């Protein structure tokens, strides 16, 4: 289920495997292996993928069919006129950056 959902989410964002790999600091082969079920991401990578795609690890793993988390995140307003959807995307990206930073710090 992970491979199918990962591919679906990647394609919905209009990304190639290579583009997603670069965003996640992985190789294109690794993304390809995830999508066909030859490899499984570790917990940190699963969290990073879920955050990037605005979903949950449970959705990625097929434990639920609910794609979007129930809770909403309030975004910092910087004076721009952002739509609610844009504010949600901003918050998702902020969380993605936080998780990626934590993952990189663990590797040091």
Question: HEC string of 21-58?
Answer: HHHHCCCHHHHHHHHHCCCCCCHHHHHHHHHHHCCCHH
Global pTM reads 0.66
Across the range 84-103, mean pLDDT stands at 79
What CATH number was assigned to the domain covering residues 2-107?
Answer: 1.10.260.40
Rounded-to-integer distance, Cα 105 and Cα 37, Å = 28
pLDDT at 41: 96
pLDDT in tens, 37-80: 999 999 999 999 999 998 999 999 998 887 876 444 444 555 56
Residue spans of the domains in the chain: they are: 2-107
């Amino acid at each position: 289920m992970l491979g199918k959902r990962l591919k679906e989410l990647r394609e919905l964002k209009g990304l190639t495997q290579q583009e997603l790999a670069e965003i996640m600091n992985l190789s294109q082969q690794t993304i390809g292996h995830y999508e066909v079920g030859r490899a499984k991401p570790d917990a940190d990578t699963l969290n990073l993928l879920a955050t990037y795609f605005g979903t949950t690890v449970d959705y990625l793993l097929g434990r639920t069919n609910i794609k979007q988390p129930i809770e909403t995140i309030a975004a910092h307003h910087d004076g721009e006129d952002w739509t609610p959807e844009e504010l949600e995307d901003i918050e998702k990206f902020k969380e993605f950056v936080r998780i990626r930073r934590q993952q990189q710090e663990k590797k040091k």
